[in-house]
Chains A and B, each alone.
Chain A
Amino acid sequence: MKLKLKIWRQKNSTSKGSIVNYDVDNISPNMSFLEMLDQLNSTLIKNDESPVAFDHDCREGICGSCSLYINGQAHGPDRAITTCQLHMRKFKDGDTIFIEPFRATSFPVIKDLIVDRSAFDRIQHAGGYISVNTSGNTQDANSIPINKTDADNAFDAATCIGCGACVATCKNSSAMLFVGAKISQYALLPQGKVEASDRVTKMIDQMDLEGFGNCSNTGACEVECPKGISLDNIARMNRELMKSKVL
């Protein structure tokens, strides 16, 4: 396949970036999207041009490193996958592909397609945990039975990979799906209920401090989320906040 790529290039966080056009040839439909970029980079290196920087690591859709806004969608046109799992068979010969970094004021660009998502980490530092010591003297794991539905819902919320697609795709750059998922995971489990009220306040405060926008329930995040995290988690977070403020 032959493709025209329109890629955002930006030398570093302070410089101004722009879209640069590249042509690539001999793209196999079995390639993953990142392998296509690998091929572009190897050509660029050969021609003494600087390769396109992009985040990637596990390349199996679980580490959450890869990002990319491809043809106007976070992680590209396919659903329930990350960019590394997107295959070139989703494109046609001669297609033009826009490749941009995830955009949000809270995700400043570091270089080319790489953005700084440490805001997510800081939200978690604020309260994304259960305060239990790792002494090994905790009670037996089976001493608190947990209703299977709650356990499954907590798991579904916990599968978030922290890639930031929800923020990138949200017209308001809201991080509520991410934060909602984390709050939900703990709110659904008996272990997490003890600090639930404190946690929801702290995490939301940090989220606001980081400058993420407000949720307007467009639902785009849920659609683009590689792990299919449900919008229900945002509702649950809202409920948790009301509980903590009102009760």
Chain B
Amino acid sequence: MNKITYSLNYRKPKGEYLPDEEVLICVRYYHKANNAAPKIIKKSTGVKCKLKDWDTNWHKKECRSPVKSSDKDFKSKNSLIEQTAKNFEQYLIQIQKTPELKYSPKLKSNQPDGVLKDKWTNHKNKINLVNPANKRLIDIIVVGTGLAGGSAAATLAELGYNVKAFCFQDSPRRAHSIAAQGGINAAKNYQGDGDSTYRLFYDTVKGGDYRSRESNVYRLAEVSTNIIDQCVAQGVPFARDYGGLLDNRSFGGVLVSRTFYAKGQTGQQLLLGAYSAMNRQIGRGKIKMYNRHEMLDVVLVDGKARGIITRNLITGAVERHSAHAVVLGSGGYGNVFYLSTNAMGSNVTAAWKAHKRGAYFANPCFTQIHPTCIPVSGDHQSKLTLMSESLRNDGRIWVPNIKEDAISIREGKITPLDILEENRDYFLERRYPAFGNLVPRDVASRAAKERCDAGFGVNATGEAVYLDFAAAIIRYGKEEAHINGEDENNETLVNKLGTAVIKKKYGNLFQMYEKIVDQNPYKTPMMIYPAVHYTMGGIWVDYNLMTTIPGLYAIGEANFSDHGANRLGASALMQGLADGYFVLPYTIGDYLSDDISTGPIPTDTAEFENAEDEAIKKLNFFINNKGKHSVDFFHKKLGKIMWNKCGMARNSKDLNEAIKEISDLRNLFWNEVKVPGSADEFNEELAKAGRVADFLELGELFAKDALSREESCGGHFRDEHQTPEGEAVRNKDYQFVSAWEYKGDPKDAILHKEELNYNDIEVKERSYK
């Protein structure tokens, strides 16, 4: 229903006007399309009339003239108003005819032309480089020292740039990349099972549900092999077979074994590799390391990123740091959910501050929920613990198929061992016979949630499913017995041998589980439940990994580019290191080649001063606010909203509510947050307050993004868009990247779309059946 109405443009409450006061008249165009939210467009007529001359019942009269005859110019005024309305109507018809510009010209992906497989090589050949002597004149700031930041800092320093690296932890080695367990993918095809760069590219794009940039992903697959060579040369102790060659395992969502691993601590070993490369450069003086420093803002000079403002977390000192370019490797924002597998300190502040300064934020709603986490045990829970996806190689996931059994288990009356084989529902094997327990993470997570929502969940909370190794123990046990020439039918023996095999493969994970849950997973099945794990969305970057702010780069999980709507297992490590070791160090030269004669960037300019003042003002605000509730109070509330309404399955009603609730919570936060202590000391609460303030803004944008994406794809599942069997339905019209421009409140953020084209891969329904 569309209509045009007249109204007075009140500038203060209606009752405060005197009858003789003049008010401007405007035309309102009320528009409502079928599903969209109503839109009101307002236009001034330029005509004023006294309040007493305004006919409130104008719409009931046939002439529809709002100015009463008591006004001496009522005729001319009414005709003017009428004319304006007519013109306005014409204009509206006109703009509705011209199709809305679908893709934003502001988002230039800078993908090189040519054949997909040659793009990266050609690009490297064409871009500008900085000669070694000039690199000494250029400073680069790297924020974050995980796999992406650490490897980038080391490589940039090695190339000759002066690097300043920042991390909030007490050592770069503690960045959360360290917690990655499973492995790192690379298209080495050492197992000879038909792997190739193209197949890795294909799996990644398909796994990401066709929402990633084709050329970026191909480049990632291409450099993946270099990563393994590099890491081995650095002394990363990958698992090896008895012949002394590198071993591989397979991971969810793919049909080849391409994952390199170092027991369950691959992330740790890779990070320590990058850290050692950093150490070498720190020792040489090429990297200046700032530990326990948190980035509070990015400073723009003439529209270019030229520095950052940081806070020394020990002394509380707010500092200015300048450079010719700034690289953000600050990780993902999973902690917007409060409970996630991210580290306690993981935060969005660096990325969000960049967003506020003009970097577009892409696909915030693409979040990965990891299926194999240890379930929540109570309200005191501060974080969730992930267990490697590799467990799904041998574990079978099930719930009881009789609701009464599930209830009895929850009440502690029976144990899972009491459930007969025929009363177990191996729901992944049932729904996805081809991939079974190895379906991608998003599919596995949603299937578990579906069962729990249907009332078949276990654990006291009803929010858990079983991951059972009994079958694997028997299978391996029989194999071993056969190899040793022992009796395959001896149950005790088979059990013992099988347990030993499982212990060898997953011993550390089983031990970790036992410590946390206090149950022996060799005897009773493990309980798992999905938890927020990784964020595919992040700062929008072009092919060179530069954001929409010139000179500001984003790498690793902090950017959005490679995983689309869902990330495959063992690909995060690959992307972080690819960006840091092999992509950014080349592409950044293209930008910096203009800066060889710029000279050092001074920090005593107005831009730095303003940014610093702003940061200090905010810190002081928190200290002086003296509210009622601690920072965690708000963070937990935000987490609940996010998990319940923007979690594994979303719908427009929930999302609209979430937007409202988060916005209200944010207002409450600014009024009532309580931060003890002072700003000039080690003050964890103060640091947390700044982080949660940013999460409270991001959360709303997240919900807004999820609401605007009318489809189900990858980690983003909308209840409105599913098949009768509950499978995700993708919408071809949404084959684009949503990049949001900051405009003050998150609700005012402007959407820019980057078109995604797939020339070298057929866009197919993503089926794992």
Contacts and interface: CB of A to CB of B under 8 A. Distances in A.
Interface of A: 11-12, 28, 30-32, 34-35, 38-39, 42, 44-46, 48-51, 53, 55-65, 78, 80-81, 85, 87, 89, 110-111, 114, 116-118, 120-121, 124-134, 136, 138-142, 144-148, 151-152, 154-155, 158-159, 161-162, 185-186, 189, 191-192
Contacts of B5: none
A92 B229 CA distance: 51
A134 B245 contact: no
A35 B235 contact: no
Contact of A51 (B236, B343, B518, B685): B685
Most chain A beta-carbon neighbours within 10 Å: one of B179, B238, B245, B380: B380
A90 B484 CA distance: 40
Nearest to A65: B174
Contact of A12 (B234, B343, B682): B682
Contacts of A63: 169, 174-176, 178-179, 343
Interface in B222-258: 223, 226, 228-246
Contacts of A128: 276, 279
Most chain A beta-carbon neighbours within 10 Å: one of B158, B263, B377: B377
14 contacts: A12-B681, A39-B380, A59-B343, A60-B385, A62-B178, A65-B170, A111-B314, A125-B279, A134-B581, A138-B230, A145-B245, A155-B269, A159-B265, A185-B237
A177 B646 CA distance: 46
Contacts of B231: 141
A55 B188 CA distance: 40
Nearest to A160: B272
A159 B176 contact: no
Given A35-B380, A124-B279, A128-B276, 12 more contacts: A35-B382, A38-B380, A58-B178, A110-B682, A114-B682, A121-B172, A138-B232, A142-B188, A148-B244, A154-B235, A161-B178, A189-B235
A53 B686 CA distance: 12
B240 A146 contact: yes
Interface stretch (B404-412, B509-517, B563-571): B509-517
Most chain A beta-carbon neighbours within 10 Å: one of B170, B171, B228, B280: B170
A120 B518 contact: no
Most chain A beta-carbon neighbours within 10 Å: one of B188, B237, B241, B343: B237
Given A125-B282, A158-B269, A158-B272, A57 B511 contact: no
A191 B233 contact: yes
Contact of B515 (A56, A81, A159): A81
Contacts of A126: 283
A140 B229 CA distance: 5
B234 A136 contact: no
Most chain A beta-carbon neighbours within 10 Å: one of B174, B231, B246, B291: B174
Which size bracket describes the interface of B in this complex? 35 or more
Contacts of B267: 62
Q: For the complex, would chain A's binding face be called helix, strand, loop or mixed by DSSP majority?
A: loop
Contacts of B246: 141-142
B645 to A, nearest CB: 25
A123 to B, nearest CB: 9
B263 A55 contact: no
Contacts of A59: 343-344, 382-383, 385
Nearest to A115: B170
A138 B233 contact: yes
Interface string B30-41: 000000000000
B282 A87 contact: no
Contacts of B84: none
9 interchain residue pairs of minimum CB distance:
A145-B244, A129-B276, A155-B237, A136-B226, A138-B233, A141-B232, A125-B283, A154-B237, A129-B280
B582 interface: yes
Contact of B190 (A34, A118, A142): A142
B277 interface: yes
B674 A151 contact: no
B229 A139 contact: yes
A34 B607 CA distance: 41
B233 A132 contact: yes
Nearest to B578: A136
A162 B382 contact: no
B154 A138 contact: no
B268 interface: yes
B276 A134 contact: no
B753 interface: no
A138 B174 contact: no
Contacts of A53: 682, 684
Contacts of A132: 230, 233-234, 277
B263 A28 contact: no
A89 B301 CA distance: 55
A111 B233 contact: no
B630 interface: yes
Interface string B272-301: 100111011011000001010000000000
A191 B230 CA distance: 11
Contacts of A12: 681-682
Contact of B155 (A116, A134, A158): A134
Contact of A151 (B154, B237, B582, B585): B237
A99 B140 CA distance: 41
Most chain A beta-carbon neighbours within 10 Å: one of B171, B238, B239: B171
Contacts of B674: 45
B479 interface: no
A60 B386 contact: yes
B382 A32 contact: yes
Interface string B326-338: 0000000000000
Contacts of B236: 158
A31 B239 CA distance: 34
A75 to B, nearest CB: 12
B244 A147 contact: yes
